[in-house]
A and B are shown apart, each in its own frame.
Chain A
Amino acid sequence: MRIDPKVSQKIITLILGIATGITLFILLYIIIFMLGRGIPVLSWKFLSTFPAKMGKAGGILPTIAGTFVLTLVAIIIATPLGVGAAIYLVEYTGERKIIKIIRFGAECLAGIPSIIFGLFGLSLFVVILKMGWSILSGGLTLAFMIIPTIIRTSEEAIKTVPYSYREVSLSLGATKWETVKKVVLPNALPGIVTGIILGVGRSIGETAAVIFTAGSSLRLPTSLFDSVRTMSVHFYILSKEGISEKNAFGTAAVLMILILAINLIAYWIMHRFTRRNV
């Protein structure tokens, strides 16, 4: 039996539409489920007090601090490396072979599972370099993880700066580096910032790599060599050990709100930026 192409067209459109609907429904369901049960738990007290009884009661203050410091360290290390690499890949195309190898390395690094980063961080930073479970070990491990993201987004941003900008600067007698520093980077800044923000998002949500390198101490850190527990790790421990479902939902709500805000900001910056350049 042959189905009329026009009929099959209608059927297929319907099926594809339903599939898209399902995907969007799943996304919406996750957000509503987590926020719906998590937001009622939130209060100023929950955000500003220490956990009691391993997290069964009390708030999540040290995990907010832990997430913040760990992400900050990761960003401080990863940004110069990632942006520098991106500048080289786009602006200094002298040796093609090296560029190919570097790009391959960055792409492969992006595909490595976080548990491998965790193993690596544990064996190099925690054990061999004797940094122990600490902000520094965790921050370095996270930096390794987010560098590919920063390289990729920065590369895209630098590429969108029109070539004529560079030509004008060079024709005025500026050197290549002066051109990059004063013309290319300022124009590519919004895109670079987007990459950094996405890196922040990845750091905040990471668990497997962090639990083995930053540990899970519930104290407020006083030095870079202190162990911290991030919100993701806290959420994992609370739900996995069945310590407190209520506080798990509360922690997850903070986490989800942060992630949503970060993605929105990144999208907004990128959107404005590309529109200006078109």
Chain B
Amino acid sequence: MKKITEVAVEKGLLLLALSAIFMLVLIAVFIFVEGTPLIFKTGLRNFILSAKWSPLEGQFGILSMILGSLLITGGSLVLGIPLGLACAIFLSEFVHNKIRAILKPVIELLAGIPSVVYGFIGVNVLVPLIREYLGGPGLSVLAGSIILGIMILPTIISISIDALQAVPRSYREGSLAMGATKWQTIHMVVLKAARSGIVASIILGMGRAIGETMAVIMVAGNAVKIPRSILDPCRTLTTNIALEMGFATGTHRQALFATGVVLFIIIMILNIIARYIIREQK
């Protein structure tokens, strides 16, 4: 009797554990089933290489959204990588363990703040500043990049600190014993040893930036055209879905799911690369 319970429990738990992979597959199937027919109908080339998006006339080209996503994400990395890495190095190498134990969760709190709050701050503080001092409508690639740059900080900082902390003490001691200064030790020894973890943190941050929706909707202006400067408004893949899903029907709805397919593929590629890098390090 006991044995039967044991086996039943194990199989039951396995089933629960498999739910994670089942959900991933389920989500992929639904997005692809609803989205790919339109990609086949308009042709992949027309879908991703045309910038003409006018659902009422049956024109579904998402080039401007792809570029919008890339620009805003790229911009967020320009801000997020130096700031995040500097912060991670400082907290890992220059402060006492006790201070790090307090500051790391404090910074992780940034990740817990809802994305609508970031968007709201963006609209109320950042956008007016950009409009006043740099010109343009304010709602722009730049505003989106800055807000996303802040939003990816906790991802970059937290994972980078873990990577830096995983470098054995003896590496640092060896270098210091040879007469190197602390900074020489950090950039010649510690950073090299922690490289893959740091790269993974950046890729995961990138995934977060590409996938972010609500904050971007509020600050990026959402115009369907290829931005000519960082002060122009733009629309990303995620915001395209969120803005039009509420009223889309028929092929228009399919086109939004097709946008989701492109987004899903990009995110999965980034995820897989990051996991691969982290695993290699282990």
Give A contacts to B, CB under 8 Å.
5-6, 8-9, 12-13, 15-17, 19-20, 22-24, 26-27, 30, 33-34, 80-81, 84-85, 87-89, 92, 94, 98-99, 101-102, 104-109, 111-120, 122-124, 144, 147-148, 151, 175-177, 198, 201-202, 204-208, 211-212, 232, 235-236, 239-240, 248, 252, 255-256, 259-260, 262-263, 267
Query: In the assembly, what is the distance between CA of A109 and CA of B17, in Å?
Result: 13
Q: Which residues of B contact A8 (CB under 8 A)?
A: 181, 183
Q: Which residues of A contact B275 (CB under 8 A)?
A: 104, 107-108
Q: Which residues of B contact A147 (CB under 8 A)?
A: 19-20, 23
Closest 8 CB pairs of A and B: A113-B211, A84-B16, A205-B114, A105-B21, A19-B86, A16-B90, A88-B17, A85-B17
Given the interface pairs A88-B14, A104-B275, A107-B271, the reply to whether A113 lies near B115 with Cβ below 8 Å is no
Query: In the assembly, what is the distance between CA of A267 and CA of B84, in Å?
Result: 22
Task: Select which of B6, B82, B181, B271 is within 8 A of A5 by beta carbon.
Answer: B181
Given the interface pairs A113-B238, A119-B257, A207-B115, the reply to whether A124 lies near B183 with Cβ below 8 Å is no
B115 touches A105 (CB 8 A): no
Q: How far is the CB of B175 from chain A (nearest CB, A)?
A: 12
Q: Which residues of A contact B274 (CB under 8 A)?
A: 111
Q: A84: nearest residue on chain B (CB-CB)?
A: B16
**A contacts with B: majority SS:** helix
Q: Which residues of A contact B56 (CB under 8 A)?
A: none
A207 touches B121 (CB 8 A): no
Q: A122: nearest residue on chain B (CB-CB)?
A: B245
A81 touches B19 (CB 8 A): yes
B260 touches A252 (CB 8 A): no
B90 touches A20 (CB 8 A): yes
Give B contacts to A, CB under 8 Å.
2, 5-6, 9-10, 12-14, 16-27, 30-31, 34, 82-84, 86-87, 89-91, 94, 103, 105-110, 112-121, 123, 125, 150, 153, 157, 180-184, 204, 207-208, 210-214, 217-218, 238, 241-242, 245-246, 256-257, 260, 263-264, 267-268, 270-272, 274-275
Q: How far is the CB of A207 from chain B (nearest CB, A)?
A: 5
Given the interface pairs A85-B17, A105-B21, the reply to whether A208 lies near B181 with Cβ below 8 Å is no
Given the interface pairs A111-B207, A208-B213, the reply to whether A85 lies near B183 with Cβ below 8 Å is no
A116 touches B23 (CB 8 A): no
B120 touches A105 (CB 8 A): no
- Other A-B pairs beyond A27-B110, A30-B118, A114-B213, 5, CB < 8 Å: A85-B19, A105-B21, A113-B267, A122-B245, A207-B213
A235 touches B120 (CB 8 A): yes
Q: How far is the CB of B258 from chain A (nearest CB, A)?
A: 11
Q: Which residues of B contact A205 (CB under 8 A)?
A: 112-117
15 residue pairs from A and B, CB less than 8 Å apart: A5-B183, A15-B86, A19-B86, A85-B19, A85-B20, A92-B13, A111-B267, A113-B210, A113-B211, A116-B260, A205-B112, A205-B117, A207-B115, A208-B214, A240-B217
Q: How far is the CB of B257 from chain A (nearest CB, A)?
A: 6
Q: B256: nearest residue on chain A (CB-CB)?
A: A119
A144 touches B27 (CB 8 A): yes
B257 touches A123 (CB 8 A): yes
Query: In the assembly, what is the distance between CA of A8 and CA of B212, in Å?
Result: 38
A34 touches B107 (CB 8 A): no
Q: How far is the CB of B42 from chain A (nearest CB, A)?
A: 19
**B contacts with A: majority SS:** helix
A144 touches B83 (CB 8 A): no
Q: Which residues of B contact A119 (CB under 8 A)?
A: 30-31, 34, 241, 245, 256-257, 260
Q: Which residues of A contact B106 (CB under 8 A)?
A: 24, 27
Q: How far is the CB of A170 from chain B (nearest CB, A)?
A: 12
Task: Select which of B16, B119, B238, B246 is within 8 A of A115 by beta carbon.
Answer: B238
Task: Select which of A23, A94, A176, A240 is within 8 A of B83 by beta carbon.
Answer: A23
B268 touches A239 (CB 8 A): no
Q: Which residues of A contact B150 (CB under 8 A)?
A: 26
B116 touches A235 (CB 8 A): yes
B83 touches A19 (CB 8 A): yes
**Candidate in A12, A92, A124 with the most chain B CB atoms within 10 angstroms:** A12
Task: Select which of B16, B109, B213, B245 is within 8 A of A113 by beta carbon.
Answer: B213
Q: Which residues of B contact A99 (CB under 8 A)?
A: 17
**Candidate in B17, B115, B217, B242 with the most chain A CB atoms within 10 angstroms:** B17
B21 touches A101 (CB 8 A): yes
Query: In the assembly, what is the distance between CA of A23 and CA of B106, in Å?
Result: 10
Q: How far is the CB of B53 from chain A (nearest CB, A)?
A: 17
Task: Select which of B23, B86, B119, B180 is within 8 A of A20 by beta carbon.
Answer: B86
